């Protein structure tokens, strides 16, 4: 083979083959096939490198007269995971926007902050103590969780109304709440509350029969509270750590009995919301960070409205005041 001639049109060909003789044509055809195969392989490698699978992230060889162009660096696994997480957050927010519109809310409920890494210290509200409360290590009674987060907590009592629309609404809006159940009201449909539990709602103790506890002996109070603990374990898988006395009334025997069967907290409430109005414990008639809000499983038979109507009233108010709804158990 003669010396190699380098020009723009014939790279790497011999003088003989570049002159276009018969032999040169035949050889050039063979080399053209080889060069074509090599070119395909090179282009494939280059394409995979530009897509993030190649190594190094160096410069791509430019065409004549063009400036060098750097290849896109490969995307790290952490970056891909972050991108996917951001996509999930966007999708979740879009779903909340659509759900808020579907359920007739004035605005989209605010997203609560992450649960606190260090839980606040829960103590009994001043004036709500019983004799020897601290000395006996009785469950704290409180109406507000000490936090600077602009959050409130929704709690729902009793269990009389079993509205499927309420379950759908709360699930679609991703609004957390805590239930306090009385057995005589839920025993006709434990399945409804199992669905609630399966949706992530914590089910808690509100006694077997919803009596006025201070009128009962210690033994009868214990049957009401600890008997409900057993119902909760048998029906829903665990004994709750939270107990709310019916009507918010209790005495030392109440809290002693509750402690004896595993209760750790006795949350009351600072506000109560109905389908058509709010009621307040405090004189300022307003919400505060960490407030516990009470409502009930009730419908048109007891209210001037429905549970979804109550939720709309609740969410419209807290959202307008700049509060998110957080999960009570995340702060205990």
Q: Is 129 a member of any domain? A: yes
Q: Look at the chain and report how many structural domains it folds into.
A: 2
pLDDT of 31 reads 41
Pair 7, 152 in one domain: no
Largest CA distance in the chain: 117
Q: Helix or strand or coil: residue 300?
A: coil
Q: Is 102 a member of any domain? A: no
Q: Is 259 a member of any domain? A: yes
Q: Is 66 a member of any domain? A: no
Q: Is 88 a member of any domain? A: no
Blockwise average pLDDT, block size 10, the chain, 332 residues: 41 39 39 43 42 44 61 72 85 91 96 96 98 98 98 98 98 97 98 98 98 98 98 98 98 98 98 97 97 97 95 98 98 98
- What contacts 63, CB < 8 A, 6 or more positions away? none
Q: Looking at residue 173, which CATH number applies to its domain?
A: 3.20.20.370
Helix segments in the chain, DSSP class H = 15-18, 22-50, 77-102, 164-173, 183-186, 190-198, 218-236, 252-260, 307-320
CB atoms within 10 A of CB 196: 23
pLDDT of 167 reads 98
pLDDT of 280 reads 98
Pair 190, 275 in one domain: yes
Q: Is 272 a member of any domain? A: yes
Distance CA 76, CA 65 (A): 33
pLDDT of 65 reads 63
Q: Is 154 a member of any domain? A: yes
Pair 4, 145 in one domain: no
Pair 194, 324 in one domain: yes
pLDDT of 67 reads 63
Pair 117, 32 in one domain: no
Pair 179, 287 in one domain: yes
pLDDT of 189 reads 98
Pair 195, 319 in one domain: yes
Q: Is 235 a member of any domain? A: yes
Residue whose pair of structure tokens reads 């669905």 in the numeric block: 195
Q: Is 116 exposed, middle or buried (0-12, 13-18, 19+ CB in 10 A)?
A: middle
Pair 25, 116 in one domain: no
Where is 279: in which H helix or E strand?
A: strand 278-280
Q: Could you tell me the residue range of the domain that residue 24 belongs to?
A: 1-42
C-alpha closest to that of 177 among 267, 275, 300, 277: 267
Pair 38, 114 in one domain: no
């Amino acid at each position: 083979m003669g010396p190699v001639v380098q020009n723009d049109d014939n790279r790497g060909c011999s003088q003989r083959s570049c002159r276009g003789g018969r032999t040169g044509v035949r050889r050039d055809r063979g080399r053209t096939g080889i060069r074509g195969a090599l070119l395909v392989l090179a282009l494939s490698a280059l394409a995979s490198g530009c897509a993030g699978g190649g190594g190094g992230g160096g410069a791509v060889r430019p065409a004549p007269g063009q400036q060098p162009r750097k290849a896109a660096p490969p995307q790290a696994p952490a970056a891909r995971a972050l991108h996917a997480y951001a996509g999930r957050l966007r999708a979740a927010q879009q779903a909340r926007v659509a759900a808020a519109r579907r359920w007739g809310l004035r605005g989209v409920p605010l997203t609560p902050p992450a649960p606190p890494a260090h839980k606040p210290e829960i103590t009994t509200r001043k004036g709500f103590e019983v004799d020897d409360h601290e000395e006996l290590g009785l469950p704290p009674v409180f109406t507000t969780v000490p936090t600077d987060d602009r959050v409130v907590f929704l709690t729902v009592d009793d269990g009389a109304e079993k509205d499927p629309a309420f379950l759908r609404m709360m699930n679609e809006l991703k609004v957390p709440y805590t239930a306090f159940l009385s057995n005589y009201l839920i025993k006709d449909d434990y399945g409804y509350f199992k669905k609630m539990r399966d949706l992530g709602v914590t089910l808690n103790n509100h006694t077997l029969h919803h009596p006025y506890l201070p009128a009962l002996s210690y033994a009868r109070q214990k049957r009401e509270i600890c008997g409900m603990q057993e119902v909760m374990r048998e029906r829903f898988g665990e004994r709750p750590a939270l107990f709310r006395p019916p009507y918010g009334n209790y005495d030392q025997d109440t809290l002693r009995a509750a402690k004896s069967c595993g209760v750790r907290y006795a949350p009351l409430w600072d506000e109560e919301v109905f389908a058509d109005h709010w009621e307040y414990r405090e004189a300022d008639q307003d919400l505060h960070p960490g407030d516990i809000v009470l409502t009930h499983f009730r419908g048109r038979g007891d209210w001037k409205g429905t549970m979804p109507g109550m939720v709309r009233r609740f969410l419209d108010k807290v959202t307008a005041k700049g509060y998110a709804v957080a999960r009570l158990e995340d702060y205990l």
